[in-house]
């Protein structure tokens, strides 16, 4: 799998910043990417893997361990040693700059409290997502949807092997990674909670409903969700609510970030099972929305959904500067314009509304409204400027 566009993007950030944090879910390909970057780079590269006891020992006094190094220093699994961040700050402030640091981790800065504060203004973040629709050939889209974008799951030799890899990934994640991060939930409960979330994929979140369904308080639900969001497993799409006194839905929508993990938690192995599954529509919607975001080049914080209590809604609103583009996803081959779409177009002042559907063609439906074939999303949806 060629992911060299990501390597270039990280290289560009390293030219501008003394510290770059390459973050993403476990097993998404961070170490591989850093290795590729190191191979391409001229000059010395020193690598520490903070999961290895001997590397940790070399850093038992981090200043002593790091201050003499030149070139690029890679610190892998940085979530294992958050105390390193204040040290990086000192090293990043030296002039002349003697070394640059590439830190790799599978937990967001919010989960590692020390990191965000200590490196403010010195660090660039780059999030590596699972393989997306723009990284595979058109023929592989169905496979990407079923298996998801973790390289090992996508490239496995059979559906069964892929499914087993994902099951094992989930198990290892709750049994090993969550406890290491000091997460508040016991492994078995975390597993069941995550599996329950799979059934809420694509729905507006109600902390109290989830709490009741799982038999814990809504405060607990929030804490557990924070962990799954901070480890890139769950995504909360915020509601858009800067608008005209209408009564709007103010809770976020919940999505599992990877369709393959979603299917694993739902017990879906093959396409036939997916097609018959009650959550197939929600799964397809989440997958299509990510495809739209990849086509747009939407950045974090630019995506919302919108819903009024009167029933009008929009699956995805992407806002950049004065541009507002709307997207509805319909798993049908004959999309039509609905009243809700017209309300969204007017109320939100959308420049365009695309109805992403399961058919083969892209065609106009009404002024400013198009039907866009999901499989053509990358061709027919122009990037944000
Ligand atoms: N571009 C790629 N093409 C093919 N396989 C890949 C690619 N990137 C990663 N992999 C495979 O996916 C698996 C995970 O990759 P890697 O170890 O780089 O991920 P990671 O994000 O560092 O994981 P962890 O958080 O567990 O350290 C490895 O088996 C690796 O060989
Ligand atoms: Mg790694």
Chain segment 119-177, per-residue pLDDT in tens? 888 999 999 999 999 999 999 999 999 999 999 999 999 999 999 999 999 999 999 99
Are both 169 and 118 inside the same structural domain?
no
Are both 204 and 290 inside the same structural domain?
no
> Does the beta carbon of 106 sit less than 6 angstroms from any atom of ligand 1?
yes
Domain presence at residue 335: yes
Domain count, the chain: 3
Q: What is the dihedral of CA 37, 41, 44, 45, to 10 degrees?
A: 0
**Cβ(146)–Cβ(263) under 8 Å?**
yes
Domain presence at residue 248: no
Ligand 1 pocket mutation pick from 21, 31, 157 by most atoms within 8 angstroms of CB: 31
> Does the beta carbon of 35 sit less than 6 angstroms from any atom of ligand 1?
no
Give the span between the Cα atoms of 219 and 228, in whole angstroms: 15
Are both 92 and 106 inside the same structural domain?
yes
Are both 330 and 261 inside the same structural domain?
no
For the segment 335-379, what is each residue's pLDDT rounded down to a tens digit? 999 999 999 999 999 999 999 999 999 999 999 999 999 999 999
Domain presence at residue 242: no
Domain presence at residue 246: no
Extract the tokens encoding 166: 């994902």
Say what the pLDDT of residue 245 is: 65
Instruction: Give the residue whose CA is nearest to atom 9 of ligand 1.
Output: 29
Q: Per DSSP, what are the bridge partners of residue 255? A: 235
For the segment 67-100, what is each residue's pLDDT rounded down to a tens digit? 999 999 999 999 889 889 999 999 999 999 999 9
Across 198-210, average pLDDT: 96
- Say what percent of the chain tops pLDDT 70: 98
Give the span between the Cα atoms of 107 and 26, in whole angstroms: 9
User: Which ranges of 94-240 does DSSP label H, i.e. alpha helix?
Assistant: 113-118, 141-147, 151-155, 159-172, 178-180, 187-199, 207-214, 218-230
Are both 114 and 72 inside the same structural domain?
yes
Say what the pLDDT of residue 247 is: 79
Are both 356 and 383 inside the same structural domain?
yes
pLDDT band per the 50, 70, 90 thresholds, residue 248: confident
Instruction: Give the residue whose CA is nearest to atom 6 of ligand 1.
Output: 151
Please, what is the average pLDDT of the chain?
Answer: 95
What DSSP designation does 298 have? P
Measured distance between the N- and C-terminal CA atoms of the chain, rounded to whole angstroms: 28
Q: What are phi and psi of 145, to 5 degrees?
A: -60, -50
Residue 287 CA to ligand 2 center (angstroms) comes to 25
For the segment 12-23, what is each residue's pLDDT rounded down to a tens digit? 999 999 999 999
> Which domain covers residue 45, as residue numbers?
4-127
385 burial (CB, 10 Å; 0-12 / 13-18 / 19+) is exposed
Domain presence at residue 72: yes
The last residue of a domain, from among 70, 95, 127: 127
Q: Residue 335's domain is classified under what CATH number?
A: 3.40.1350
Say what the pLDDT of residue 250 is: 85
> Does the beta carbon of 5 sit less than 6 angstroms from any atom of ligand 1?
no
């Amino acid at each position: 799998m060629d992911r060299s566009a990501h390597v270039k993007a990280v290289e560009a950030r390293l030219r501008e910043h003394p510290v770059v944090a390459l973050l993403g879910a476990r097993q998404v390909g961070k170490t591989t990417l850093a290795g590729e970057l190191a191979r391409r780079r001229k000059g010395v590269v020193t690598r520490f893997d903070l999961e290895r006891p001997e590397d940790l020992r070399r850093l038992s006094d981090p200043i002593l361990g790091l201050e003499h190094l030149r070139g690029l220093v890679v610190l892998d699994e940085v979530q294992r040693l958050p105390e390193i961040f204040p040290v990086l700050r000192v090293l990043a402030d030296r002039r002349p700059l003697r070394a640059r640091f590439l830190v790799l981790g599978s937990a967001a800065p919010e989960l590692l409290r020390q990191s965000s504060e200590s490196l403010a203004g010195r660090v660039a973040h780059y999030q590596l997502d699972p393989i997306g629709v723009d990284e595979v050939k058109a023929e592989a889209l169905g496979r990407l949807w079923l298996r998801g974008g973790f390289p090992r799951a996508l490239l496995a030799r059979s559906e069964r092997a892929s499914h087993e890899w994902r099951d094992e990934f989930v198990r290892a994640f709750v049994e090993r990674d969550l406890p290491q991060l000091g997460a508040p939930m016991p492994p078995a409960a975390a597993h069941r909670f995550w599996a329950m979330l799979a059934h809420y994929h694509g729905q507006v979140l109600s902390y109290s409903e989830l709490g009741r369904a799982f038999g814990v308080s809504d405060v607990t639900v929030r804490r557990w969700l924070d962990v799954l969001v901070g480890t890139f497993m769950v995504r909360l799409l915020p509601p858009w609510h800067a608008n005209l006194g209408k009564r709007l839905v103010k809770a976020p929508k919940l999505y599992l970030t990877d369709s393959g993990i979603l299917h694993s938690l739902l017990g879906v192995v093959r396409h036939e099972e997916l097609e018959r599954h009650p959550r197939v529509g929600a799964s397809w919607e989440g997958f299509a929305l990510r495809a739209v975001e990849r086509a747009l080049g939407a950045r974090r914080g630019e995506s919302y959904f919108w819903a009024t209590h009167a029933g009008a809604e929009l699956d995805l609103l992407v806002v950049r500067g004065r541009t507002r583009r709307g997207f509805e996803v319909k798993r049908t081959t004959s999309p039509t314009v609905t009243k809700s779409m017209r309300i969204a177009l007017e109320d939100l002042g959308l420049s365009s509304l695309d109805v992403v559907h399961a058919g083969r063609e892209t065609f106009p439906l009404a002024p400013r409204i198009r039907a866009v074939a999901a499989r053509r999303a990358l061709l027919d949806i122009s990037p944000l400027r």
